[in-house]
Structure 1
Amino acid sequence: MTKYLYLVFLISACSTNPSGKQVLKKSIEFHDPNSNWNSLLERFSLQSDFIYPETALYNLLIGLDNLNKRVSYSNETLAQRVDFTDTTCVVILGDKSCEQTAWTKNFYHFILGLPMTLQNDEGIIQESVEPMTFHDEASYRVAVDFEKEKWHFYFSKADYHLVGFAFNKNFESKAEEIRTNGLIEIAGMKLPKTRSWWITTDSIRPIYSGRDEIMGSSSWEKLTN
């Protein structure tokens, strides 16, 4: 009888943790309660301030037309602009080629849209969730595996907002950890306002890399705008 009660208690304790997909669903409900992300048509103003591996302070404009799969990347500091559709790329301003800036299309769409951008089929969301503390925040850690990268996302236990994430390329020991701070309301969504980036390895203390911050946004209406 004692063994039976212990087994029931153990099963009950294990079942109290939500699955990875359940945590993600609740986080999306927090950040995008009206499901506006997929139809978003907005231009983001960002400030990117990094000191490692080199110092760079940029003012950026990122246009997102999610319904038509358009992304516009503008670096006002360097006088660069490149516009992308799902299948095309056009250099509007500057001397950077489409090949040199190709990474910006998926990067900014993915980062700015977290956690909503985890809904696609590119990553495998692990069902097992690990309760833990992420920089003093009681959190759920959800693992998501991509083809060449392993990511961990940390969601607040209190309200499921995204408190940070980490990833390592090609499954190497060197990784990047990103901590979010604050929320900004854009198009009915509550998006992480600031991200601070840290380089982590197994052998040295984390190195502060820099931060990027959403300063605001405006409507992005025209294809040629």
Structure 2
Amino acid sequence: MKSFFALLVCFISMPGFSQDISSQELLKNAIAYHDPNGNWPSFNDTFTFVMTMPTAPKRTSVISINLPAEYFKVTATKDTVTTTYILDKGKCQMQYNGKVLDSLKAKDKNMTCDRATLYKNYYSYLYGLPMKLKDAGTNLNDTVEKKTFKGKTYLVLKVTYDEAVGSDVWYFYFNPKTYAMEIYQFFKTDEHGKEKPDSGEYILLSEETLLNGIKITKVRAWYYNKADKYLGTDTLVEG
């Protein structure tokens, strides 16, 4: 009996089974899993993903992110149309089917430099997770929750943002044994900052590949929180 209790104590004290892990410890462990060598600040790579949706043609996007050089480029092809947005140290360029556009012609194509910045922030955020959770303006909830989602138990980190950064509330679901990030989810908020339960989306993450020594998700399946409605899947096809 004594040996049984000793084994039990050992088991519950193993990484991934702690009842008292802090949000900072969870994030540290998750980053250690995804970016063990601290490569994210020097990230410089190009990758391709394909977005498939039930009611729309597939879209193929080629993304280049060079953080040290402050360079971002996304080229998206859908049907016969290819659009390109480039931000090079803040300088914006837009192309439509390979032709460089001035601001007036870009506006006719519904393309703007504001959208270029939006894309840069969006893709840098998603592909930089969980490392991006250390950015200024990011607020980690003090308490790490244990939640069951689709029959599997996760350590869940709740994240809010300073008003200047964003108003959505995010939840990040980590494998309790490996600390791999396997789901993220967000909700919109009302004028009082309260979550709207039927808003937002959740994203199921599966498979991994290495980019710049970082474990990056290969497959992301998107769903509305409301009624679990499927939106689409983007799949990394080239690293």
Judge conservation of contact 1:178–1:197 (CA < 8 Å) in 2. yes
- Per-residue deviation, 1:139: 1.1
How far residue 118 of structure 1 moved from its aligned partner, in angstroms, is 1.1
Q: Report SS of the residue matched to 2:120.
A: helix
1:117 to 132, 135, 141: 132
TM-score (norm 2): 0.77
Partner of 1:65 in structure 2?
66
Q: Pick which of 33-42 and 182-191 moved more.
A: 182-191
Partner Cα separation in structure 2 for residue 86 and residue 131 of structure 1: 42
- Out of 213, 218, 221, the residue aligned to residue 193 of structure 1 is 218
Match of 2:53 in 1: 50
Structure 1 residue 100: Cα displacement = 3.9
Aligned residue pairs total 200
Give the AA of the match of 1:153: F
Which consecutive residues of structure 1, in runs of 5 or more, have no partner in the other structure? 1-12, 218-225
Name the SS of the counterpart of 2:144 in structure 1: strand
Q: Which runs of 5+ in 2 are unaligned?
A: 1-12, 98-108, 190-194
Aligned to 1:154: 173
1:93 CA displacement? 3.3
What residue in structure 1 maps to residue 21 of structure 2? 18
TM-score normalised per structure 1 = 0.82
In the other structure, the counterpart of 1:222 is none
Distance in 2 (CA, whole Å) between partners of 1:31 and 1:184 is: 10
Equivalent in the alignment of 2:100: none
2:228 aligns with: 206
Q: Percent identity?
A: 24
CA RMSD of aligned residues (A): 2.0
SS in 2 for 1:128: coil
SS at match of 2:137: coil
Three-state SS of the structure 1 residue aligned to 2:142 is strand
Counterpart position of 2:75: 74
What letter corresponds to residue 185 of structure 1 in structure 2?
L
Match of 2:20, SS? coil
**Are the counterparts in 1 of residues 92 and 116 from structure 2 also a CA contact under 8 Å?**
no
Q: Check conservation: 2:184, 2:203, Cα contact below 8 A.
A: yes
Query: For residues 81 and 105 of structure 1, what CA distance do their matches in structure 2 show?
Result: 12
Residue type at the aligned position of 2:23 = G
After the TM superposition, which of the residue ranges 155-164 and 167-176 deviates more from structure 2?
A: 167-176
- Residue in structure 2 matching 1:172, options 185, 188, 196: 196
Task: Tell me the amino acid that sits aligned with residue 74 of structure 2.
Answer: Y
Matches within 5 A, 1:124-143: 124-143=139-158
Secondary structure of 1:76 counterpart: strand
Q: CA deviation at 1:101?
A: 4.1
Q: What displacement does 1:57 show?
A: 1.2
Deviation at 1:87, TM superposition (A): 2.7
- SS of alignment partner, residue 23 of structure 1: helix
How much does 1:48 deviate? 1.0
Instruction: Give the Cα–Cα distance (whole angstroms) in 2 for the partners of residues 114 and 100 of structure 1.
Output: 21
Contact 1:137–1:156 (8 Å) recurs in 2 = no
Which amino acid counterpart does residue 188 of structure 1 have in structure 2?
G
